Structure 1
Amino acid sequence: MTSTQGGLTPRQARRLRMAIAGVAMAAMAVVLVLQLGDGSSLRSVGLYGAAFILSGAVIEMSRRGRTRLGMAVLVTGFVLVLGAEWWLRTR
């Protein structure tokens, strides 16, 4: 299956979105380990754990063909997690 418009096929788009979520999951895992080693607050570590779980949920959504919804959830979730992290640091 190839796209006539020069874009990605649905299968390629789904794989790309799964890869993006996988990279985000790996990045959150690294940050979570660094936060644990730094002795950060439990709330902060919990936020990164939530982002880690969110990435896994997006990968599962992408596997089931819900890639656009998954990317919307991923972006919204990460914005909320990073906003909450910033808010916790400034308190």
Structure 2
Amino acid sequence: MTALGENDATTSAGPGRPTGALTPRQARLVRGVAAAVVMLAVAVTMGVRFAAEPSLLTLGLYGVALILSGTAIVLSRLGRTRVATAVLGGGLAVAVLAVLLR
């Protein structure tokens, strides 16, 4: 008999995996959803800014942010979650810079 109770063996994270860590599937889902939320926010902001003051610069900067967010979604689906996080951060940085450069 071990020191673990009957239910403790099923809730154990197993060797090498800390308790509370995301599984690869959960990590892909979280990053995909985060990229979709960023993409939606950038699209809404782009629409509002473009309606108020149409310019090619506005369209270009927000378009790049949308492309990077879409790329992050695809990378998440392919299992490249760390790369997707970096790309998503880049897309968010582009959107923030576009707002600041207004």
TM-score (norm 2): 0.74
Larger Rg: 2
Which secondary structure state, in structure 2, belongs to the residue aligned with residue 83 of structure 1? helix
1:72 and 2:86 matched:
yes
The number of residue pairs the alignment matches comes to 87
Higher helix content, 1 or 2: 1
Match of 2:60 among 35, 46, 51: 46
Calculate the TM-score normalised by the size of structure 1: 0.82
Structure 1: which amino acid aligns with 2:29?
R
Higher mean displacement: 75-84 or 48-57: 75-84
Determine if contact 1:54/1:77 at 8 Å carries over to the other structure.
yes
Give the secondary structure class of the aligned counterpart of 2:92. Answer: helix
Separation in 2, partners of 1:53, 1:77? 8
1:14 and 2:28 correspond: yes
Displacement of 1:86 in angstroms is 2.1
- Any stretches of 5+ residues in structure 1 without a counterpart? none
